[in-house]
Structure 1
Amino acid sequence: MPLAAVLALAAPAPARADGPPAGPEAGSLPTLAQRVAQPRDGCVKASGKRSERTPWPQAFLRPDAVWPLSEGAGVTVAVVGSGVDGASGDLEGRLTAGPRLSGPGDSTRDCVGHGTFLAALIAARPRTDVGFAGIAPRARVLAVGVTDDTGATDADLLARGIRAAADAGARVIAVAVPLPGPDGGPAEAVAYARGKGALLVAPAGYDGQGRTEPAPARPAPGALTVAALSPDGTPAEPGPAAGRPDLLAPGVAVMGTGPGGRGHFTASGPSCAAAFVAGTAALVLGYRPGLTVDQLESRLKATSYRAWAGPAGARTAYAGVDPVAAVTAELPGEAAGTVAPVLAPAALPPLPAAPGHPAAGQGLAVAGGAAALVAAVAAAAVVVPRGRRRSWRPGPS
């Protein structure tokens, strides 16, 4: 059952979720950005603050409901960006340093902190003392550094980074910045990566911070573009000239770990949304490793929930990523490579804010009944196929 349908059926019950946290911690977590000014006193420092609560994107997406089926084990996700610092231990034993194509040091040096944050959203392991965890907590992360110490990069570096990630065997490649296209090196690199069986996921626009360059109106063909959802379940304000994204995912007031230690940061923007989709792709491949890149992309799109944004008469349809359906759904025609969307458009119901949380920038309350129902769906996806393989039949009542 798609997540949207589960949420529509379930009675609302408050859950502990945040982004950023409420109460005395509200607004206290430092913020990470896609780009920073030229560092004068070194790189981004470790955060000394943590929140024990579950971030709202996790409560919204419920990846834990399918962890009994897949945690992304055996899948390598490349993060092509500012590097990935493994000091927090969230990626312990699962972080590989790929090539560093710009800036000093290797790809485990992250002066900006942005790449580390995205990697944590994808694959940070769960801890007993905090609610935050990555979407696919057993996926491997390949760090490929393509930015300088301010987070700046160019088309040639991006293209080289994508090729390096594909050559290293990544099945999913998360790019931290929008991909220019449709001509030139990045577009050719995307085609090269797809030829090697890698799905490339990229933000539909820049994360903001007063940037003057527009998002590419026509991103590199073959890349899955992702835009950001706000905590109220509606699309965030799109960037200038941003093309229509393939999917949306949480991307506003997102909490996670960053460089230098186990402290938490917040960040916002399409790059965060792209990380959640990349993690979802890892979950799917962990459960269905035989999918081709075309089948994986089709599955992510076909199992998305459909909703609308905007006033009556000018509403725009969009597709939100649904990790539960992406892993568990049985899609007609998938074996033949002819997957078509199987979900009828259905508006996502508004989700109530958790007690004490302002409507904007704070967490969502997710229905407790939805959690149980989603878990039951995930369990059935394991038990029923196994029973069929053993020629199981229901016994007499």
Structure 2
Amino acid sequence: MNAAVRRPPGVGSAGAVLAGVVLSAGVLLPAGAARADTPGPSAAAGAPGDALPGVTQLRRQPAGKPAGCLPASAKGTQLTPWPQTFLRPDRVWPLSQGDGVTVAVLGSGVSDGSGLLAGRIDFAAKLPDAGDPARDCVGHGTFLAGLIAADRRDGAGFAGLAPHARILAVGVTDDTGATSPDLLAQGITAAAERGARVIDVGVTVPTGSDALAAAVRLARSKGALVVAPAAPDVMPGSQGDAKPEPVYPTAYPEVLAVRDLGPGGALPEDGAAAVGGRVDLTAPGDAVMSTGPTAGGYYTGSGPSYATAFVAGAAALVLGYRPGLSADQLAHRLEATAYRAGGAVPDPQVGHGTVDPVAAVTSLLAQEQSTPSPAGTAPATPTVPVMPPARPASAAPRQAAVVALGALGVIALVALAAAIGPRGRARGWQPPKPEPGGGA
């Protein structure tokens, strides 16, 4: 409904402009701030508290026995998941949706039961001792692929971060989600040989191998950025008092290590897997929503592995707009434009900060025309201000203040014009107004 601008007594044209600016100021606020109270994905459509079924890295019973394939979900929702209001990918979609970029998803395979990846999914050859990459029993690989590249649909709040990117499904686990260093090495090599520009390794192992280290180096030499979790996802009751240790392939310096954040940007609560190695970036990863291997509803998941999908999606957006970047330049750009509250970087807990897709695509970096920052050093500050991911609702007053300051500038110009106009006519600067009832 359109609201008419009414002038209070004594308010001239400048006051009318003020009212109009104030009424329209809401459209200038970040979309995330305007929807900061959007419920999280754990609340499905229907009765309050009707939760989505969960996806985990491993499909095992507490005793270690296989739990069978992931059951279908009948839970639907039209809510916008919190990571989308937090990262605001819609702001950069006019520039890039990941067109022409292939993201490899290494994990339990991808089954596009939802159809949200239709026409944009390829499958690597089946690896020995791994499952069929086109049949996802666990559901974890499909979930990650959806976070990265699920298409947008009218009436649905959920979409992948880079909805036009291609997915290369590489199976590196068995039907329970278990893997090994050799399987990861074969999967990374296969993805690099197939031309993937981004390789999302959704699973980790506690030990590395010469073959795995060589595969990571090969991928980098072929221009592929490898992204992996900074810690394993935690199965309920499995963490205990275990000492945090580095995980692989994340421990290799060529890999971008990602830690998960909860709704609103909070670090994981007690009970989450402790990080035993470095952290390069953080991204949404707890209580996130995505698709599963069967047609129907959505699922939810929590852990560092899910955060890697948002970094991989952001990388695809960058490459869709800046396809000439090398893997080193891409990693540098993601780190240099990350949102951080301040302090030295990299921080042991959050690395260079939270991935910011809008800034990663749009910022101009001084060093990008020369040599990217060497591995292990802090990246250069962007040469243009970057917009952080949407904060919780408390950030809205600051943003409204910026809008108000802009409105005051407009008012000052209008008031000046209103004051000068009559004086100008009195001095013959402009034709006088016709007398009431006079001719034209």
Q: Give the TM-score category using the shorter length.
A: 0.7 to 0.9
Query: Relative to 1, partners in 2 of residues 1:157 and 1:51: Cα closer, same or farther, differing over 3 Å?
Result: same
* Equivalent residue, structure 1, for 2:43: 21
AA partner of residue 164 (structure 2) = R
AA partner of residue 60 (structure 2) = A
1:281-309 deviation line (CA, Å, top 9, x unaligned): 00000000000010000000000011379
In structure 2, the residue corresponding to 1:174 is in which secondary structure? strand
Please tell me whether residue 82 in structure 1 is matched to residue 108 in structure 2.
yes
* Equivalent residue, structure 2, for 1:301: 335
| C-alpha RMSD of matched pairs (Å) | 3.3
AA partner of residue 175 (structure 2) = D
Aligned pair partner of 1:155 in 157, 181, 184: 181
Residues 183 and 220, structure 1, Cα contact 8 Å, conserved in 2: no
Aligned pair partner of 2:215 in 176, 189, 198: 189
* Equivalent residue, structure 1, for 2:58: 35
Please tell me whether residue 61 in structure 1 is matched to residue 87 in structure 2.
yes
Aligned pair partner of 1:252 in 286, 295, 299: 286
In 1, Cα distance between the equivalents of 2:50 and 2:225? 35
CA displacement at 1:86 relative to structure 2: 1.1
Larger helix percent = 2
Larger strand percent = 1
Residues 75 and 286, structure 1, Cα contact 8 Å, conserved in 2: yes
1:78-110 deviation line (CA, Å, top 9, x unaligned): 000000011110100001111222557621101
1:341-362 deviation line (CA, Å, top 9, x unaligned): 3169999896139xxxxxxxxx
* Equivalent residue, structure 2, for 1:222: 254
Residues 102 and 148, structure 1, Cα contact 8 Å, conserved in 2: no
Gaps of 5+ in 1: 1-5, 354-364, 374-397
CA displacement at 1:368 relative to structure 2: 12
* Equivalent residue, structure 2, for 1:356: none
Could you tell which deviates more after superposition, 24-33 or 53-62? 24-33
* Equivalent residue, structure 1, for 2:304: 270
Residues 179 and 219, structure 1, Cα contact 8 Å, conserved in 2: no
Residues 108 and 131, structure 2, Cα contact 8 Å, conserved in 1: no
In structure 2, the residue corresponding to 1:277 is in which secondary structure? helix
CA displacement at 1:205 relative to structure 2: 0.7
In 2, Cα distance between the equivalents of 1:316 and 1:70? 27
1:334-391 deviation line (CA, Å, top 9, x unaligned): 01123533169999896139xxxxxxxxxxx989979x99xxxxxxxxxxxxxxxxxx
CA displacement at 1:130 relative to structure 2: 1.4
AA partner of residue 29 (structure 1) = L
Q: Percent identity?
A: 52
Residues 86 and 391, structure 2, Cα contact 8 Å, conserved in 1: no
Give me the TM-score of the superposition, normalised by structure 1.
Answer: 0.80
Query: Relative to 1, partners in 2 of residues 1:155 and 1:57: Cα closer, same or farther, differing over 3 Å?
Result: same
1:245-296 deviation line (CA, Å, top 9, x unaligned): 1000001100111111131000000011000000000000000000001000
Gaps of 5+ in 2: 1-27, 374-378, 404-440
Could you tell which deviates more after superposition, 38-47 or 190-199? 38-47
Give the alignment of 1:80-119 within 5 angstroms: 80-101=106-127, 106-119=132-145
Residues 131 and 174, structure 2, Cα contact 8 Å, conserved in 1: no
* Equivalent residue, structure 1, for 2:74: 48
In 2, Cα distance between the equivalents of 1:323 and 1:113? 26
Residues 92 and 358, structure 2, Cα contact 8 Å, conserved in 1: yes
In structure 2, the residue corresponding to 1:320 is in which secondary structure? coil
* Equivalent residue, structure 2, for 1:137: 163
Query: Relative to 1, partners in 2 of residues 1:122 and 1:317: Cα closer, same or farther, differing over 3 Å?
Result: closer
Could you tell which deviates more after superposition, 338-347 or 190-199? 338-347
In 2, Cα distance between the equivalents of 1:230 and 1:144? 28
CA displacement at 1:44 relative to structure 2: 0.9
Residues 219 and 243, structure 1, Cα contact 8 Å, conserved in 2: yes
Residues 13 and 368, structure 1, Cα contact 8 Å, conserved in 2: no
In 2, Cα distance between the equivalents of 1:241 and 1:302? 22
Query: Relative to 1, partners in 2 of residues 1:52 and 1:11: Cα closer, same or farther, differing over 3 Å?
Result: closer
In structure 2, the residue corresponding to 1:232 is in which secondary structure? helix
Could you tell which deviates more after superposition, 196-205 or 216-225? 216-225
CA displacement at 1:19 relative to structure 2: 2.2
AA partner of residue 282 (structure 2) = L
**Higher relative contact order structure (alpha carbons within 8 Å, sequence separation ≥ 6):** 1
Give me the TM-score of the superposition, normalised by structure 2.
Answer: 0.72
CA displacement at 1:8 relative to structure 2: 9.8
In 1, Cα distance between the equivalents of 2:216 and 2:69? 31
CA displacement at 1:241 relative to structure 2: 4.7
Query: Relative to 1, partners in 2 of residues 1:126 and 1:184: Cα closer, same or farther, differing over 3 Å?
Result: same
Give 1 or 2 for the bigger CA radius of gyration: 2
In 1, Cα distance between the equivalents of 2:66 and 2:390? 47
Residues 281 and 350, structure 2, Cα contact 8 Å, conserved in 1: no
In 2, Cα distance between the equivalents of 1:162 and 1:347? 32
